[in-house]
Structure 1
Amino acid sequence: MDDMHGNSPKTLRQDLLKQRKEFAAGQTYAQTKDRLIAALNQFLAKDGNSLQAIAVYWPIQDELDLRPALITWAKQSPERCLALPYARPDKHLDFYEWQDGDALIPSQHGVPEPSPSNPSRPAIAPDCILIPCVGWSSSTKNGKTHYWRLGYGGGYFDRTLATLRKNNPKLICLGIGFDWQKLNDLQWVAQTHDEPLDILLTESGLLR
């Protein structure tokens, strides 16, 4: 059941996903995608040396495919690895090491996931998590700006981030979105259970 606030988030989500589909098929998409990946590569060049495990996502429903850039980053050092989320029945995510070419299993939502019972791919706690946004917003409080993610409505990331941040205060949660996905307060306001993003990455660059 969706939390009802303002316009129904469900309707808003459907509109945004429809817009994203149209955008992905449009003329400016390739250029926008290149700009966003260039910004990601800047982040990896600058912050990537202090990270060992980055959790990526398997792109579905016109989400940007950032895997090639991350695979390149991971290959630069034997210390580095990538992880993919696995959705538990209790609606939390676990992360397991992932290498390009691994056999994956579709989740109940149809997202390819790692097998939790693969002994050669251990569970890991990532230093950085990349999370695609359906929409995003910003809020400023006491002169500090926070960025928020509107997701698919399952609440998996919010629950997982709350737990992971307790164990690792230095965790970087990196939201991936486009400039046009920005929502104003009339459209959507983050709720108290929503976890903020540490950084938002769009085609305009990194917003911290």
Structure 2
Amino acid sequence: MNDTADCSTLGDKTALRRELRRRRRTLSPSQQKQAAITLCQRLKQLPEIQRSKRISLYLPVNGEIDPTPLLPWLRQRKVSIYLPVLRPFSANCLWFVAYRESTPMVKNRFGIAEPCSRFAADRRNRLPAWALDTLIVPLVGFDQQANRMGMGGGFYDRSLAFMRYQGPAPTLIGVAHACQQVATLPVEPWDIPLGMVVSDTMVIRPTKTG
């Protein structure tokens, strides 16, 4: 169900985040599983995914839609897979670290599994964000123009700030449950725009203007 709620009807952004996170947590395990399967079927059909050789995705928590059913398909295609890792000694920034079946994992301060610090600190296991082909990123909410609402920490916006300027850059694909769509979201100056949003029911690309 796509609700038409926005910040004006749900109060401020904190209240909107709380409501959208509640929506996705109300989905049953079977609904979550089916949504993940359908999402990954849609992702496989995207040219941006089919031609990617270096992809970052995430491990879901707190009801986030699960992109990991894509992993066997990516590995079969010899795609290099990366995960976002909290960068040490840096305010709310991310490293992108190789994720293999043998990668040693730990939980970070948010309870999210990520490659352990010793593995991540080895530069041979990392890739700069600009060298990735595609980033699949989680959303708290999205709207009809593919605007994204994240958790509020600014991790992706800070880590991808280079995309405001010309140069190599990955395609950003936001993914979410359909129930996380709202009519409109506020756009802040520091927001890094998405190339598209993919849910279990649709693909939304921003309308080009000018």
Specify every segment of 5 or more residues in structure 2 that has no aligned partner in the other structure, as ranges: 1-6, 206-210
What residue in structure 1 maps to residue 57 of structure 2?
56
The 5 A counterparts of 1:28-177 are 28-43=31-46, 46-77=47-78, 80-88=79-87, 89-114=90-115, 115=117, 116-118=120-122, 121-124=125-128, 125-138=131-144, 146-164=145-163, 166=165, 168-177=167-176
CA contact (8 A) 2:143 2:182 kept: yes
Q: Give the % identical residues.
A: 24
In 1, Cα distance between equivalents of 2:165 and 2:97:
19
Q: Is the 8 A contact 2:85 2:95 kept in 1?
A: yes
Q: Taking structure 1 as reference, are residues 30 and 82 closer, same or farther at Cα in structure 2, changes over 3 Å only?
A: closer
Q: Does 1:18 align with 2:22?
A: yes
Count of residue pairs brought into register by the alignment: 190
| Greater per-residue strand proportion | 1
Once the two structures are TM-superposed, the CA of residue 30 in structure 1 deviates from its matched residue by 4.1
> Quick check: 2:24–2:177 contact (8 Å CA) kept in 1?
no
Query: Residues of 1 paired with 2:201 and 2:114: CA distance?
Result: 30
Aligned-residue Cα RMSD (Å) equals 2.3
Conserved 8 A contact 1:165-1:171: no
> Shift of residue 191 of structure 1?
1.5
Distance 2:126 2:35 in 1: 35
Alignment match, 1:206: 203
Counterpart mapping for 1:170-189 below 5 A: 170-185=169-184, 188-189=185-186
How many angstroms apart in 2 are the aligned matches of 1:58 and 1:26? 16
Could you tell me the TM-score, scaled by structure 2's length? 0.79
Contact in 1 for aligned 2:94/2:156 (Cα 8 Å): yes
Unaligned 5+ runs, structure 1: 139-145
* Structure 1 length-normalised TM: 0.80
Question: In 1, Cα distance between the equivalents of 2:13 and 2:43?
Answer: 28
Please say if residues 40 and 67 of structure 2, whose CA atoms lie closer than 8 Å, have aligned partners that are also in contact.
yes
Is the Cα contact below 8 Å between 2:164 and 2:192 reproduced in 1? no
- CA drift at 1:168: 4.5
